[in-house]
Amino acid sequence: MHKPRSIPKGAFLLPLTLLVIVLLLPLFRNFIQSSSKIYATNLETKETRSCNIFSGNWSSYPKEPYYNNETCPFILNQINCIKSGRPDRDFLKLRWKPHDCELPLFNATQFLELVRGKSMAFVGDSMGRNQLESLLCLINTVAHPEDITAKYTSNDDIFFRWWFIADYNFTVTIMWSPFLVKYNDSDASGLAYYSATTLYLDEVDAAWASKIENFDYVIFSAGQWFFRPLTFYENGQVVGCQKCQNKTELNYYGYRKAFRTAFRTIRNVKGFKGKAFLVTHSPGHFENGDWNEGGTCNRTRPFSMEERKVYKHRDIVEAVYQIQMEEFAEAEKEARKEGLNFGLSLIDITDAMVMRPDGHPGRYRSVGNVKINDCVHWCLPGPVDTWNEILLYVMRLEGEKHKNVTLS
Ligand SMILES: *[C@@H]1O[C@H](CO)[C@@H](O)[C@H](O)[C@H]1NC(C)=O
Ligand SMILES: *[C@@H]1O[C@H](CO)[C@@H](O)[C@H](O)[C@H]1NC(C)=O
Ligand SMILES: *[C@@H]1O[C@H](CO)[C@@H](O)[C@H](O)[C@H]1NC(C)=O
Ligand SMILES: *[C@@H]1O[C@H](CO)[C@@H](O)[C@H](O)[C@H]1NC(C)=O
Ligand SMILES: *[C@@H]1O[C@H](CO)[C@@H](O)[C@H](O)[C@H]1NC(C)=O
Ligand SMILES: *[C@@H]1O[C@H](CO)[C@@H](O)[C@H](O)[C@H]1NC(C)=O
Ligand SMILES: *[C@@H]1O[C@H](CO)[C@@H](O)[C@H](O)[C@H]1NC(C)=O
């Protein structure tokens, strides 16, 4: 099994692979429809029926962001865009506005009161880390997150880390698991952006699954690594591959099965009484070439409706999003059949983020190969802060559901 700690930081920064993909996609009507349907059946309050917070638009908001490069010490250089010299600021003056309601601002005190005495794990790839850093910055406005990684491991890397917010007895951690299932990188150093990888689709990655049972909240964000050459195993047999033997096309079988295995695992982990969240696919926005072809993302405004329509590669984003939705719905159905508390909710950011080609670091990333733009991760502060506004909103909604009251 390839050891995550052998991956250099640069590889984490740009899980490129994906890059391959993802670009710029228009908004798909069916995205909205499928997610609102799932959302409404998942959450049974009056409020959610009348408002799908995942369907909306970015509207202007003149106030300063929650934090900045001087007030938040948790931002990795690669996404610390303003500090790295990004000159424009308009991308910070927007907030997500659901069509039928308001998404409340992130209230860090309220968040910390909800999670008092609890623990939260971000499981997956560097998109999870992107959201975690945003959360640490948001928390840092009212309480101090202390890095307690040394209590758990002597590895000083960014793949497995722990923070503790003493005033609220709250622990938050990140667990690196880019495929969610067991994998083995043929390049032992893990250096290659594009190395062939073997996935064991029916075996969950113990890096998270063995640790998860005591957590109260688990947040999955993965999928960006599924665009490289892959060989799929099930039951000890090769069952397929991608970008192999002269084939260039994507084979979504592995993506689907990996999510199926992860969802089955979280449903069945003995003793897991917590809440899990799936953060849906985060789209990238390379233009004029891929990540390795000098592609850029230098827009300073969200897409207009017209611009959204002309973007390419929508089929890939649509395909992976649809697979996530289908597997989510399938897992929910299975849980119901087995009489289990499903415990998995959506943080459906795909549609909102498709509209934000202006939210990426691009060339303002101060690390690694400066010739490669990062049009995959998101600047902090920036539109990724919305993911945590949504997280808090959904956590409150879940809490209120149990008390049978509606949100104000
Ligand atoms: C991982 O792959 C390498 C190279 O292909 C191989 O030598 C090694 O035995 C594999 N490890 C596991 C645990 O399958
Ligand atoms: C979304 O907002 C932008 C400006 O922020 C506006 O130009 C556009 O018309 C809006 N689209 C919809 C569907 O409301
Ligand atoms: C952040 O960093 C940049 C450059 O390093 C600096 O010019 C800017 O004023 C800083 N502060 C804020 C609040 O953005
Ligand atoms: C934030 O939440 C706390 C605790 O629930 C509450 O006392 C405070 O008024 C809230 N702040 C704002 C600005 O809503
Ligand atoms: C802190 O939270 C943990 C659970 O995460 C609990 O076991 C422990 O008793 C709490 N400590 C205090 C001092 O409340
Ligand atoms: C891949 O393509 C090359 C050249 O077209 C051919 O020689 C080779 O046999 C092919 N390999 C496989 C496994 O199909
Ligand atoms: C943005 O990038 C394109 C190439 O992708 C380039 O032609 C254009 O000049 C760039 N614009 C700015 C303002 O840098």
User: Is the model's pLDDT at 396 over the cut of 80?
Assistant: yes
pLDDT bin (cut points 50, 70, 90) of residue 21 is very low
**Ligand 7 atom at minimal distance to the Cα of residue 295:** 5
Tell me, using a 6 A CB cutoff, whether residue 77 lines ligand 4.
no
Residue 370: the pLDDT is 64
**Is 162 strand, coil or helix?**
strand
Identify which ligand lies nearest to the alpha carbon of 98. Answer: 2
Residue 121: the pLDDT is 97
Residue 369: the pLDDT is 60
User: Is the model's pLDDT at 12 over the cut of 50?
Assistant: no
Parallel, antiparallel, or unpaired for β 217-221 and 119-124? parallel
CA of 321 relative to ligand 7 center, distance in Å: 29
Query: Other C-beta atoms within 10 Å of 126: how many?
Result: 28
pLDDT bin (cut points 50, 70, 90) of residue 283 is very high
What phi and psi, each to the nearest 5 degrees, are found at residue 162? -130, 140
| Residue identifier of the C-alpha nearest atom 13 of ligand 4 | 107
Question: Read out DSSP for 319-376?
Answer: HHHHHHHHHHHHHHHHHHHTT----EEEE--HHHHHT-GGGS-BT---SS-TTS-B-S
- Least reliable range by pLDDT among 9-13, 223-227, 370-374: 9-13
| Pair 3, 117: CB distance under 8 Å | no
d(Cα 269, Cα 201) in Å, to the nearest integer? 17
Rounded mean pLDDT, 342-347: 88
pTM confidence score: 0.87
Tell me, using a 6 A CB cutoff, whether residue 186 lines ligand 1.
yes
Residues 6+ apart with CB under 8 A from 70: none
User: Is the model's pLDDT at 286 over the cut of 80?
Assistant: yes
| Residue identifier of the C-alpha nearest atom 12 of ligand 4 | 107
CA of 106 relative to ligand 3 center, distance in Å: 23
Type of residue numbered 59: S
CA of 59 relative to ligand 2 center, distance in Å: 7
pLDDT bin (cut points 50, 70, 90) of residue 312 is low
| Pair 360, 284: CB distance under 8 Å | yes
Residues 6+ apart with CB under 8 A from 360: 284, 285, 297, 373, 374, 375, 376, 377, 378, 379
Residue 290: the pLDDT is 84
**Is 292 strand, coil or helix?**
helix
d(Cα 259, Cα 189) in Å, to the nearest integer? 26
User: Is the model's pLDDT at 26 over the cut of 50?
Assistant: no
Residue 133: the pLDDT is 98
Percentage of residues in the chain with pLDDT exceeding 70? 81
- 36, 84, 126, 134: the active-site residue: 126
Q: E strands of 186-279, at which residues?
A: 197-204, 217-221, 230-234, 237-242, 275-279
CA of 247 relative to ligand 6 center, distance in Å: 10
d(Cα 140, Cα 163) in Å, to the nearest integer? 12
Rounded mean pLDDT, 22-27: 31
Give the residue extent of every domain in the chain: 4-141+174-403
Rounded mean pLDDT, 206-235: 93
| Residue identifier of the C-alpha nearest atom 1 of ligand 2 | 57
Rounded mean pLDDT, 75-82: 94
Identify the H or E element spanning 164: strand 160-165
Active site residue 126: yes
**Ligand 6 atom at minimal distance to the Cα of residue 246:** 1
CA of 62 relative to ligand 5 center, distance in Å: 40
Q: What tens digit of pLDDT does each residue of 158-199 get?
A: 889 999 999 999 999 999 999 999 998 766 555 455 678 999
- 281, 285, 360, 377: the active-site residue: 377
203: tokens are 């075996």
C-alpha distances (whole Å) from 204 to each of 191, 239, 259, 341 are: 23, 17, 10, 21
| Pair 381, 95: CB distance under 8 Å | no
What phi and psi, each to the nearest 5 degrees, are found at residue 10? -60, -35
Rounded mean pLDDT, 261-283: 89
User: Is the model's pLDDT at 295 over the cut of 70?
Assistant: yes
Q: Name the average pLDDT for the chain.
A: 84
